[in-house]
Structure 1
Amino acid sequence: MTSKLVIQQPARVMDSRVSDQWGSGICDCCEDVSQCCFGFWCCPCFACIITRDYGQGLCLPLLDAFCIIPPINLAMRVSMRHRYGITDTICHDCLYASCCTGCSWCQMAKEMKRRAIPITLISSTPRHLDTHL
């Protein structure tokens, strides 16, 4: 009686090309025109949806209406840069949050869509197959 031990290494599940830059420019509206139109014509609703999809409070962006530099837009940009490892400056975040609010929300929405990678959990425990000859 002979037993054979077979160990298989887990196959590569995901090949990611992660960049340390934003996936689109602040004014790249042509990539997703419907999304940018929604962000332009109804920015408060659009911002609430993006914030919810990012995992934060649905109505949090409504607080932006009371400040010169929208704090929620700014906080979301900084958080997104840290989560995705994007290198940029807080000065750019302040500028985009205060002068290009709609474009900033659209850029963040495109980045979330671009970097949405389905997570697959795999077992790293090798499978043992015993075969008898």
Structure 2
Amino acid sequence: MSTTANNIDPPLNPYVEYYRKYLSSLSSALTSTVGSNVFSFVDEQTSTGIPLTTTTTTTTTTKTSSFSAESYATDTPDEDYPPPSPEKPKPLGPWSTGLCDCFDDVHNCCLTCWCPCITFGQIAEIVDRGSSSCGTSGVLYTLMICVTGCPCFFTCFYRSKMRRQHRLKAEPCWDCCVHCWCEGCALCQEYRELRSRGYDLSIGWHGNIENKQRRAVEMKMMEPVGKEAMTR
């Protein structure tokens, strides 16, 4: 009696079929969510019915959020921040002495009466801030008297320049009229005004600067030592 060998495939392991369906559903779900199949597995059945080791590769997609300063910028209308108002000019102040107060300084009054060129030279050196000397301005004043006989057209410009520097009013009238009618009184008034502001016209512009620097050094040396310790 001959025996016939029948080649019959063994039945599939139910656990293997279960894992195949589970991995297929999980792969489909991740494919629709992430965009690529992140699982690779071996669809193979062993004789023992135990599925082979499944290798899982996970691809992590990092989404970087880019922030720009423009996204946080707020469009604020210009009306909320009005431009700063320009500074108002300081008002003009009065002279320290009047035009006819020549006898407040008798020495200068006599000097201006006999030698107005000296008074004008001293005034011009201070007003020009040392760019011209007392001697040069005095010589020009003398030449104006000898040539034209009316130096007021030259001296009135220095009165205007002095008023602009110290913010003084045009009193009692225009500068040209003051020097044309009362040349000596105008020079005396300008001399007294500079003296009241701390200038020593006898030593010139550079002498006043040296005195100012020397006083500043003396004040610095006279400061108490404890004051620096308290400020720390």
The bucket for the TM-score relative to the shorter chain is 0.5 to 0.7
State whether residues 39 and 106 of structure 1, in contact with CA within 8 Å, keep that contact through their aligned partners in structure 2: yes
Which one of the candidate residues 30, 37, 44 is aligned to 2:110? 37
Once the two structures are superposed, residues 48-86 of structure 1 have per-residue CA deviations (whole angstroms, 9 ceiling, x without a partner) of 122223335233351542454623311111011111111
Structure 2 residue identity aligned to 1:23: S
| Structure 2 stretches lacking a partner, 5+ long | 1-91, 200-211, 220-227
Cα RMSD for the two superposed structures: 3.4
State whether residues 119 and 191 of structure 2, in contact with CA within 8 Å, keep that contact through their aligned partners in structure 1: no
Structure 2 residue identity aligned to 1:72: F
Structure 2 residue identity aligned to 1:71: F
| Structure 1 stretches lacking a partner, 5+ long | 1-18
State whether residues 97 and 104 of structure 1, in contact with CA within 8 Å, keep that contact through their aligned partners in structure 2: yes
Q: Partner of 2:160 in structure 1? A: 78
Distance in structure 1 (CA, Å) of the matches to 2:164 and 2:172: 11
With the length of structure 1 as denominator, give the TM-score of the two structures.
Answer: 0.65
Matches within 5 A, 1:1-133: 20-54=93-127, 55=129, 56-57=131-132, 58=134, 59-60=136-137, 61-62=140-141, 64-65=144-145, 66-67=147-148, 68=150, 70-88=152-170, 91-116=173-198, 120=216
Query: Which of structures 1 and 2 has the bigger CA Rg?
Result: 2
Alpha carbons of 1:35 and 1:89: their partners in 2 closer, same or farther (altered >3 Å)? closer
State whether residues 78 and 90 of structure 1, in contact with CA within 8 Å, keep that contact through their aligned partners in structure 2: no
With the length of structure 2 as denominator, give the TM-score of the two structures.
Answer: 0.40
Distance in structure 2 (CA, Å) of the matches to 1:111 and 1:64: 24
Structure 1 residue identity aligned to 2:121: C
Structure ranking higher on relative contact order (CA contacts 8 Å, 6+ apart): 1
Once the two structures are superposed, residues 13-47 of structure 1 have per-residue CA deviations (whole angstroms, 9 ceiling, x without a partner) of xxxxxx70111111101211111111111112221
**Aligned-residue offset at 1:95:** 1.2
**Aligned-residue offset at 1:103:** 0.9
SS in 2 for 1:44: helix
Question: What is the percentage of aligned positions where both structures have the same residue?
Answer: 24
Distance in structure 1 (CA, Å) of the matches to 2:231 and 2:162: 48
